[in-house]
Amino acid sequence: MDGLTEYFDAYLSLFEEFDVLGAFWVNIQLAFWAAIGSLILGTVLALMRISPVASLRWAGAAYVNIFRNTPLTIIIAFGVLGLYAQLNLILADDFDLNFFRIAVLGLSVYHAAFVCESIRSGVNTVPLGQAEAARAIGLSFLPAARLVIMPQAFRGAIAPLGNTMIALTKNTTVAAAGSVAETAGLMLAMIEFRSDVILMIFLTFAVGYVILVIPIGLLTTYLSKKLAVAR
Amino acid sequence: MSAQKSVLFDAPGPKAKRNMAIGNAIGALAVLGVVAWVISGLAAQGQLTAAKWSPFLDPGTWQFYLIPGLLGTFQAAGVAILSSMLFGIIFGLGRLSHNGPVRWFCGLIVEFFRAVPVLLMMIFFFMLLATSGIFDPGEAPFYGVVIALTLYNGSVIAELVRSGVYGLPKGQREAASAIGMTRSQSLRNVELPQALVAMLPSIISQFVVILKDSALGYIITYPELLVNARRLGSGEGNILPALLVTAAIFIVVNFALSWIAQRSSVFLSHRAGRKVKGAEMTEIEPAAEPK
């Protein structure tokens, strides 16, 4: 029994030494800004991919195929080693904030490809008659997309978009490769400091992510049912 | 693509054709402009000089850095593909079991490992093995990468196996029990083989995920392609070209795998002229999970 108490004392003392909640807060912020960035970029890409203009379709497809097939680790490493160290891209005067913004940029650019594909699968759920009706009342491509197709496509794309956002949340840990002080880096530091309570440290962070991810999943399921277009 | 074309715009008349041609030209100019902007930016920073790129013409670069790195990537990904298939089949069948505790336990494992970031698992198993002394510390990064990739992707494949079995016609299971097979015999000999074939495109897409995620080994110093590219980059002073070439190698390999996935999906939808329910599902979201 004594051993167990000692084990938990050692484990609990870690929380005084390390700011676990602060690290999770960094990941939440990364996920929040990258979600906004990737949703905007992904929507633009999806519009390009369904547009009547061949060159834009081609460019959108090229973007998706390139970024979907590149490991996120390379994109994040490229941001720090390439964009920052070689090309002197500076997004903030503050050192840490600069790396944070570069990581948000990398995460947005990568996940935009998946957001684009999710929205495109949403467009596939919109019946042909909707587009035909839009054309019949004289709407051209952009108004038809904005007023008729996209609102329904977003509602049909909630489930795949939710999956993308869950993956995005988990992928914020990869920002560790971009010198951002977040959970993966903190977990490594804690394990190096106290390798005797390694299992509890891992479980703490793992459960933290389970807690972060479950609400997104529940919200997605709720929204995709509530917002489903009745047809 | 052709289906979406007809969703949003009609067969164009002469005026629309002219507008589209103009739009096409403007779009092409915009794309070329972005490309030119990137190239001139790189040139202005001295990234396009011969000294930065000529190392890639040197066989030594490939012999000592890129090819060993690619082999390291393939080795970790290859082992992880095999073990995650095994994991996926065992836990996928476990979730279909008629034994409550087995089903419950497999469900818990699968849901847990799907929710935890791969990188955290990688760091955990790497540190666990490195400090435990079971393995040679030099081997710890390799096993860290393989175990983490197996647990995550195996869990995803378990879900694919489960939905593949659910997608099968009920008659398959009924026929199996009619000829006296037990539930597990029916699962193993009748339902699983068909489920795996139906889910083949999604499973291959998951292999792309495994290959991409093996690059996370960079963070725990497993000597894969990205680590070697960085070593090359710091040796030759051409980190940016080295990263671009590495990305290009990954894109080519993954593109080939995605192409196989797509072909297998087309092949399966034509196969025997019969609708496979699972295969339909996979067409909606190929590689939907961006991990």
Mean of pLDDT over chain A: 89
Lowest mean pLDDT, pick from A100-104, B6-10, B282-286: B282-286
Lowest mean pLDDT, pick from A24-33, A103-112, B81-90, B219-228: B219-228
d(CA A183, CA A177): 12
Least Cα distance to A151 among A130, A168, A167 occurs for: A130
The pLDDT tens digits of the residues spanning B234-259 come to 888 888 888 999 999 999 999 898 88
The pLDDT tens digits of the residues spanning A142-175 come to 888 889 989 999 888 898 999 999 999 999 999 9
Nearest C-alpha of chain A: how many angstroms from B259? 11
Which of B128, B216, B244 has its CB closest to that of A174? B216
What is the b/e burial string over B177-208, where b = at least 16 CB atoms within 10 angstroms of the residue's CB? eeeebeeeebbeebbbebbbbbbbbbbbbbbb
CB–CB of A195 and B116 under 8 A?
no
The pLDDT tens digits of the residues spanning B189-198 come to 999 988 888 8
Confidence of residue B48 (pLDDT cuts 50, 70, 90): confident
pLDDT of residue A202: 92
- CB distance B290 to A110 below 8 Å: yes
pLDDT of residue B4: 47
d(CA B238, CA B61): 12
Q: What is the CATH number of domain B58-225?
A: 1.10.3720.10
- Domain-located, residue A155: yes
β strands within chain B, DSSP E? none
Q: Supply the CATH number for residue A146's domain.
A: 1.10.3720.10
Residue B212 with chain A: CB contacts under 8 Å: 69-72
C-alpha distance from residue A153 to each of A60, A122, A124, A148, B7 (Å): 18, 4, 8, 9, 12
d(CA A152, CA B277): 25
Residue corresponding to tokens 């394990």: A191
Residue B233 with chain A: CB contacts under 8 Å: 81
| Interface ipTM above 0.90 | no
CB–CB of B120 and A59 under 8 A?
no
Could you tell me the two tokens for A159? 């489930």
Q: Hey, how many other C-beta atoms are within 10 angstroms of the C-beta on B235?
A: 14
- Domain-located, residue A15: no
Flag whether pLDDT at A191 surpasses 50. Answer: yes
CB–CB of A114 and B288 under 8 A?
yes
- Domain-located, residue A13: no
Where in chain B are the domains? 58-225
Nearest C-alpha of chain A: how many angstroms from B129? 11
pLDDT of residue B274: 53
Give the SS3 label for residue A121: helix
DSSP string for A10-73: HHHHHHHHS-HHHHHHHHHHHHHHHHHHHHHHHHHHHHHHHSS-HHHHHHHHHHHHHHHTS-HH
Confidence of residue B175 (pLDDT cuts 50, 70, 90): very high
Nearest C-alpha of chain B: how many angstroms from A131? 6
pLDDT of residue B7: 53
Residue B216 with chain A: CB contacts under 8 Å: 71, 73, 174
pLDDT of residue B1: 41
pLDDT of residue B133: 75
Residue A77 with chain B: CB contacts under 8 Å: 218, 226, 230, 243
Confidence of residue B281 (pLDDT cuts 50, 70, 90): very low
- CB distance B200 to B209 below 8 Å: no
pTM over 0.90: no
- CB distance B105 to B94 below 8 Å: yes
The pLDDT tens digits of the residues spanning A34-81 come to 999 999 999 999 999 988 888 889 999 999 999 999 999 999 998 888
Confidence of residue B9 (pLDDT cuts 50, 70, 90): low
Which of B1, B120, B288 has its CB closest to that of A187? B120
Flag whether pLDDT at B31 surpasses 70. Answer: yes
Residue A124 with chain B: CB contacts under 8 Å: 3-4, 284
Q: Hey, how many other C-beta atoms are within 10 angstroms of the C-beta on B73?
A: 28
In chain A, the number of structural domains is 1
pLDDT of residue B207: 92
d(CA B291, CA B288): 9
Residue B20 with chain A: CB contacts under 8 Å: 52-54
CB–CB of B208 and A69 under 8 A?
yes
C-alpha distance from residue A143 to each of A47, A91, A131, A134 (Å): 12, 35, 11, 9
Percentage, residues of chain B above pLDDT 90: 36
- CB distance B196 to B282 below 8 Å: no
CB–CB of B230 and A214 under 8 A?
no
Domain extent at residue A136: 21-226
Mean of pLDDT over chain B: 84
d(CA B210, CA B81): 7
Residue B247 with chain A: CB contacts under 8 Å: 70, 74-75, 78
Flag whether pLDDT at B286 surpasses 60. Answer: no
pLDDT of residue B3: 44
Q: Would you tell me which residues 180-209 of chain A have a C-beta closer than 8 angstroms to some C-beta of chain B? A: 183-184, 187-188, 191-192, 195, 198, 202, 205-206, 209
- Domain-located, residue A146: yes
Lowest mean pLDDT, pick from A91-95, B66-70, B213-217: A91-95
Amino acid at B207: F
d(CA B143, CA B145): 5
The pLDDT tens digits of the residues spanning B112-137 come to 999 999 999 999 999 998 887 777 77
pLDDT of residue B279: 44
Confidence of residue A90 (pLDDT cuts 50, 70, 90): confident
Kindly tell me the sign of the dihedral angle through the C-alpha atoms of B199, B205, B208, B213. Answer: negative
Kindly tell me the sign of the dihedral angle through the C-alpha atoms of A104, A107, A113, A119. Answer: negative
Flag whether pLDDT at B11 surpasses 80. Answer: no
Q: CA B250: distance to chain centroid?
A: 11
d(CA B113, CA B66): 32
